[in-house]
Amino acid sequence: MQEPAVLVIGSGAAGLSCALRLAEGGQKVCVVSKGPLAGGSTLWAQGGISAVLDAEDSLENHIRDTHAAGAGLCDAEAVRFTVTRGARCIRWLMARGVQFSIDEADPRRRLHLTREGGHSHRRIVHAADATGLAVETTLCSLVEQHPLITALEHHVAVDLIKDPATGRIRGAYLLDIDNGKVHSQGASAVVLATGGANQVYLYSSNPNGASGDGIAMAWRAGCRVANMEFMQFHPTTLYHPDRRNFLISEALRGEGATLRLPDEDNTPGERFMPRFDSRGELAPRDVVARAIDHEMKRLGLKYVYLDIRHQSEAFIQHHFPSIYRECLTLGLDITRAPIPVVPSAHFTCGGVITNLDGQTDLAGLYAIGEVAYTGLHGANRLASNSLLECLVFGESAAQHILSQPPPPTAKYPLPSWDDSQVTDSDEEVVVAHNWLELRTFMWDYVGIVRTNKRLERALHRVRMLADEIADYYVNFRVGPDLLELRNLVVVAELIVRSAMQRDESRGLHYNLDHPETVAVATPTILPGRSR
């Protein structure tokens, strides 16, 4: 295809909103999606988008709550920048057709606002319990219809292409999954909107595509990464053999659902969260996940219960229709029975270092959304600040790109992908085995609670795997599973190395050998590989 002005890799809320804003500004855009355009993590987001819209709330309250959740590691400028743009991003979505839930009891029919853990006020704008679905499908429809946007579905980015003379990013190698061919795609700017790396763990609430592609590609190209030790585990994922990654939204706890231990007859027993935090079930996610993990290990439990039966059947069906229907298909009526839940890897708080315009260390390369480290989340993400971040930095990156003059003409032609020296693999089982081994030891050694010994073992194992995967990569033709595994092993090492550098416990990083929190908080920064 003809070279686009901007290559956006990823089609969640960050990528699609950025692409749409670029196109509305007159720029030609190409959006790359691993699967169908509407297949990113945003589609599965249940809770909502945090924004100050209530007269009883304030920007200062939202800023304070974000800093509290971030445990002293949030960047003050990034927090204020993001929070102050929340309301206008909601208005931008509504102007483009996103239908958010209305407060039926309000005669003025204003937006219904709910509350989640760590928030001092109701400020979560939502579309029932399927906010991501409403946002993603609306943006997809607009992107598909826009004449300046081309979508490349079922394509996987392999690596970034960097100009050897200037160091500027000029495009990316893309694998067409349908025909197995890799081609070079040039661009005046590349926007990484590839999401997080939560599939590095055995249990994750994310779809399979959350394999850290953008983080790994940017690091290999020379970008710094920060705070990779802070991997957020969502406290409440459904425990069921047929549905391992179904999230039970934090909004249930916002509406009074309680966490309870199973009694001997498997009925809900003691409510345990007040023993761990005065905020109970509305404590930040790291506190709740660690409390559940503690109780499960202490008592040898496979799960704990989340109980919302104090609410009426009509209330539950109206506010949580997707969760109600999904659980019902699995034989669980949440209006009559408690929900068995376990923690699972949910959000990557660290990532590729950027400024407030989404710019990375490399000219021509931007990173937005979960792939990026902006300083917003610190040591733990406040609930529903993630979609907010996607929208705010999708806007700021688009504005910066639109304000830039055309890049200088490259001195060298765009390189072609060379696979003349490789063969088709006859040992696909190696990829599957390494994938399972990596995710298992990351879960066991670098999970919710860590120790120095576990981290040392993890680093030894990850480097052995990295050598095996690198050897496999250079000898055989690439496929999507191999590319994701190659990226995951990079991200795994970045997580372990970052965790080993933090000699304290803070936010999402809890080390039994360093249980105290140091007085001065600083981010963990790792240099890019090519530096």
Which of the residues are catalytic? 285
In sequence order, the 6+-apart residues with CB closer than 8 A to the CB of 188 are: 3, 5, 6, 364, 406, 407
- 428: helix, coil or strand? helix
Q: What are phi and psi of 8, to 5 degrees?
A: -105, 115
Report residue 281 as tokens.
């079930």
- Structure token digits, residue 264: 């001997």
**Strands 124-125 vs 49-50: parallel, antiparallel or unpaired:** antiparallel
> Which value, in Å, is the radius of gyration of the alpha carbons in the chain?
22
Q: Please name the residues in contact with 341: beta carbons below 8 A apart, sequence gap of 6 or more.
A: 235, 236, 237, 238, 239, 248, 259, 292, 303, 304, 305, 306
What do you get for the CA distance between the two ends of the chain, in Å? 32
Instruction: Return the amino acid letter for 297.
Output: K
Give the full edge-to-edge strand order of the sheet including 113-114: 49-50, 124-125, 113-114
Residue 106: helix, strand or coil by DSSP?
Answer: coil
